[in-house]
């Protein structure tokens, strides 16, 4: 019963993190524009800088929070980061200048890196053979948060551009109270390890990937997947308007359907599929589905193909839970936080690479000499194909399938 309540809290934590982040998506550019004197071009440049800094903070802070959770336990790191995040949304709601808003965004990027600790919690309380299902729950929370967050932010933003920030803060602080009541510690004192500045740095956390058989290759697969995944938030709206003539209503519907399909797959299908075919085949199936979806988007010239791509792409939701399950088997119980921190750093690197890569590709291929609006999606398909080749080679023997024991105290 306690385990179910704890997993429920992790689901709610990820959901609230993403929901709170999504709430600000429709209104943050407008607030930046308001604080920059109504200059839209200047606001666009500043908004891009905000996104880059947020990704940079994730890259730096995910391993720090992961290593701290290995030293002091998951519960205090999760609750304190959520408390700080809730207060930070209040800071952004009150921000009188761009400088204050920028500072709030930096803190948000730092504290929202707590998903590394949440992933480590899943590894603590879930047997190795069921971890993929646990990570599927996290993926479902991400999908649901991205469906509900922007919609709620748009509604609240019509009342006041500051209201979405207050709502995000309130939701986050309510979750802190919920966690104080239901969240037990998952990492016993005898399984904790001393903190190290080297391990807490992004470079030090990534060094973990080199020290375990097959782990570095899986880390590269993880990085390539997340770089490719940025094609959707980076260019989908621009591409759909240019290629299909969709208005904001149709784009919103399409993105909502993508989110719902992701929730269905990761929340209900991951567990039975992984149980039936195993983590390796689930990983491969997820990458194949992702590759196929991007290829479909790349050649699509009508709405019907988009919906086919959405259905096929939903099964890319098998990728992350299966990969996380395989990676978590390759490290000791005392290093699960460090592993999740390394994965968080890889996501941060992807966030620094992906958006610029795909927006520049889109701009190049709609301005000539070769006109190919779907080029960003075809590029994403090539990146996923590279990830698929590496995944097939690195898991050919399913090396490291058995979980490693914790070292003696």
pLDDT at 401: 43
CA separation for the pair 41, 215 (Å, rounded): 43
User: What does pTM read for this prediction?
Assistant: 0.72
Cβ atoms of 176 and 82 closer than 8 Å: yes
Domains of the chain in start order, with CATH, are 2-182+199-394 (1.20.1250.20)
Within a 10 A sphere around the Cβ of 37, how many other Cβ atoms? 9
pLDDT at 144: 79
CA separation for the pair 393, 303 (Å, rounded): 36
Which string of DSSP letters, residue by residue, matches 172-209?
HHHHHHHHHHH----S-GGG-----HHHHSHHHHHHHH
Cβ atoms of 332 and 216 closer than 8 Å: no
User: Comparing C-alpha atoms, which of 312, 320, 299 is closest to residue 376?
Assistant: 299
Structural tokens at position 128? 């190795």
Extract the runs of DSSP E, i.e. beta strands, from 12-82: none
pLDDT at 201: 67
CA separation for the pair 18, 168 (Å, rounded): 10
Which string of DSSP letters, residue by residue, matches 327-391?
HHHTS-GGGHHHHHHHHHHHHHHHHHHHHHHHHHHHHHHHSSSS--TTHHHHHHHHHHHHHHHHH
Structural tokens at position 110? 């730092």
Cβ atoms of 328 and 57 closer than 8 Å: no
pLDDT at 406: 40
pLDDT at 228: 95
Burial label for 276, CB within 10 Å (0-12, 13-18, 19+), is exposed
Structural tokens at position 31? 């607030």
C-alpha dist (Å) from residue 329 to 120, 139, 214, 322, 340: 12, 19, 11, 11, 12
CA separation for the pair 181, 184 (Å, rounded): 9
C-alpha dist (Å) from residue 295 to 51, 248, 367, 401: 27, 24, 21, 32
Cβ atoms of 54 and 108 closer than 8 Å: yes
pLDDT at 403: 39
CA separation for the pair 88, 92 (Å, rounded): 6
Q: In whole angstroms, how large is the CA radius of gyration of the chain?
A: 21
Burial label for 69, CB within 10 Å (0-12, 13-18, 19+), is buried
Residues of the chain with pLDDT below 50 are: 399-409
């Amino acid at each position: 019963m306690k385990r179910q309540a704890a997993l429920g809290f992790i689901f709610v934590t990820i959901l609230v993190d993403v929901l709170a982040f999504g709430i600000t998506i429709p209104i943050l550019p407008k607030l930046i524009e308001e604080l920059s004197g109504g200059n839209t071009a200047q606001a666009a440049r500043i908004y891009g800088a905000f996104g880059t800094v947020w990704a940079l903070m994730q890259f730096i802070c995910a391993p720090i929070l992961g290593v701290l959770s290995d030293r002091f336990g998951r519960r205090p790191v999760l609750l304190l980061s959520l408390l700080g995040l809730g207060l930070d949304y209040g800071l952004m709601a009150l921000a009188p200048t761009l400088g204050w808003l920028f500072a709030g965004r930096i803190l948000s990027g730092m504290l929202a890196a707590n998903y590394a600790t949440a992933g480590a919690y899943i590894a603590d309380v879930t047997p190795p053979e069921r971890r993929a299902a646990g990570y599927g729950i996290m993926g479902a929370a991400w999908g649901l948060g991205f469906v509900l967050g922007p919609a709620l932010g748009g509604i609240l933003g019509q009342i006041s551009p500051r209201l979405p920030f207050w709502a995000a803060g309130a939701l986050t602080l309510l979750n802190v109270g919920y966690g104080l009541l239901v969240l037990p510690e998952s990492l016993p004192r005898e399984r904790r390890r001393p903190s190290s500045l080297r391990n807490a740095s992004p470079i030090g956390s990534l060094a973990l990937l080199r020290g375990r058989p097959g782990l570095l290759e899986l880390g590269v697969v993880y990085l390539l997947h997340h770089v490719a995944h940025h094609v959707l938030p980076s260019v989908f709206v621009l591409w759909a308007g240019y290629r299909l003539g969709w208005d904001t209503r149709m784009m919103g519907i399409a993105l909502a359907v993508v989110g719902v399909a992701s929730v269905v797959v990761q929340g209900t299908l991951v567990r039975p599929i992984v149980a039936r075919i195993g983590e390796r085949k689930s990983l491969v199936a997820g990458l194949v589905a992702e590759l196929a979806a991007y290829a479909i988007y790349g050649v699509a010239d009508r709405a019907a193909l988009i919906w086919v791509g959405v259905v096929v792409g939903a099964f890319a939701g098998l990728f992350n839970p299966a990969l996380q399950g395989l990676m978590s088997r390759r490290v000791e119980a005392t290093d699960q936080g460090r592993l999740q921190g390394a994965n968080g750093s890889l996501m941060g690197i992807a966030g620094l690479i992906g958006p610029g890569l795909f927006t520049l590709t889109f701009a190049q291929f709609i301005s000539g000499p070769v006109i190919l609006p779907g080029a960003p999606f075809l590029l994403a398909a090539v990146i996923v194909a590279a990830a698929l080749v590496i995944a097939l080679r690195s898991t050919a023997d399913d090396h490291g399938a058995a979980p490693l024991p914790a070292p003696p105290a």
